Amino acid sequence: MISAFLTCLYILGICAALTFGSKCGQSEYSSAAGECCPMCAIGFVVREDCRSDSSTICTSCSKGTFMNKTNGNFSCFQCKTCENGLHISQDCTPVNDTVCGVLDGYYCMQYSDDKRDCLYAIKHSKCKPGEQIKNPGTKISDTVCEPCPSGFDSPEGVNCSKWTDTPIKDVQSKPRRNRYGLIAAVLMYIVLLLSLFIFSCLNHQTKIQRLQNIKQSCIGNKSSHFTVCPINQSTIRAASIISS
């Protein structure tokens, strides 16, 4: 019982010290020298503490910094940058931090206490093949997907369509068409080679026949008289073909 009473007295003493112990007012701060100095207004911070014969000297926040409350600080807060998925909705000023908005295709995962500023955003989810979009994503919510009903498909995960109308069949038929095209090209090449070979053989046979005719014309008649065989370029070429 006595222990509980002493504990209560101790707690009351602490509360009294906190209530009456501080000699500075609500709009003052305690300096390093123990003086109660006037606080600086929003957009400003302390440059020099007050003294017994002078007040606090304040300086404004520089570009890229801000101070949004009365204070006894010696430095301003750094303006934040809008991360991925966010854009600057309101520029930073000496009295307010940057306000970030959500880019298209993203949604906010965390807002500031006043709900004016998005702190973190992520990209909208994409529906898988075989699913379609039930509810499109917004600035505050992600995409909601649902499976396609029986007999329907969605290759790109956007809208479901009947299986007979779905473009996926065209996608599946492309490899088959490509294979048939390759086979046709190979067959045409083989036919061309065979044609060239046959033409070469026929041409060679024609030249041989021509040389044989020339030989026959050079043989003498039955009266044993010889016929002069003219030697020309055709005869020479034909002879070279036979010898080869």
Bigger pLDDT: 80 vs 219: 80
> Exposed/middle/buried for 45, CB within 10 Å: 0-12, 13-18, 19+?
buried
Residue 240, phi then psi, degrees to nearest 5: -65, -35
Greatest CA span in the chain, whole angstroms? Answer: 167
Is the domain spanning 25-78 CATH 3.30.1380.10? The answer is no
State the pLDDT confidence band at 208, using cuts at 50, 70 and 90: confident
**pLDDT digit string (tens) for 156-197?**
888 999 876 545 445 444 556 677 788 888 899 899 988 888
**pLDDT digit string (tens) for 57-106?**
999 999 999 999 999 999 999 999 999 999 999 999 999 999 999 999 99
**Rounded to an integer, what distance in angstroms lies between the CA atom of residue 31 and that of residue 187?**
96
Indicate whether 46 pLDDT > 80.
yes
Burial letters 106-142, b for 16+ CB under 10 A, else e: bbbeeeeeeeebbeebeebeebeeebbbeeebeeeeb
Q: Mind giving me the DSSP string for 159-179? A: --EETTT-THHHHHHHHHHHH
Indicate whether 23 pLDDT > 70.
yes
**Rounded to an integer, what distance in angstroms lies between the CA atom of residue 130 and that of residue 132?**
7
Domain edges within the chain: 25-78, 168-243
